[in-house]
Amino acid sequence: VATFHRMIDSIEQRLRERLRALPDGTWRHVGFCEHDGVDDKVYAVRLTFTKEGERLVLDFTESSDQAPALINTAEPTTSGYAMAAVMTVLGYGLPWTPAAYWRVMDVRKRPGSIVHAVMPAGMSMGVTSAGQEVRTSVNICLDRLLDASDDPAHHAQIFASCSSSSATSTIS
Whether the per-residue pLDDT at 89 is higher than 80: the answer is: yes
93-132 pLDDT tens trace: 888 889 999 999 999 999 999 999 998 887 776 567 888 8
Give the pLDDT confidence score for residue 35 in this predicted structure: 79
Give the pLDDT confidence score for residue 171 in this predicted structure: 39
Give the pLDDT confidence score for residue 169 in this predicted structure: 43
What is the identity of the amino acid at 49? F
* Banded pLDDT at 51 (limits 50, 70, 90): very high
Phi, psi of 48 (to 5 degrees): -110, 115
Distance from C-alpha of 94 to C-alpha of 9, rounded to nearest angstrom: 12
Distance from C-alpha of 172 to C-alpha of 165, rounded to nearest angstrom: 13
Phi, psi of 6 (to 5 degrees): -65, -40
Whether the per-residue pLDDT at 161 is higher than 80: the answer is: no
State percent of the chain over pLDDT 90: 61
Q: How far is CA 98 from CA 78, 95, 103, in A?
A: 14, 9, 9
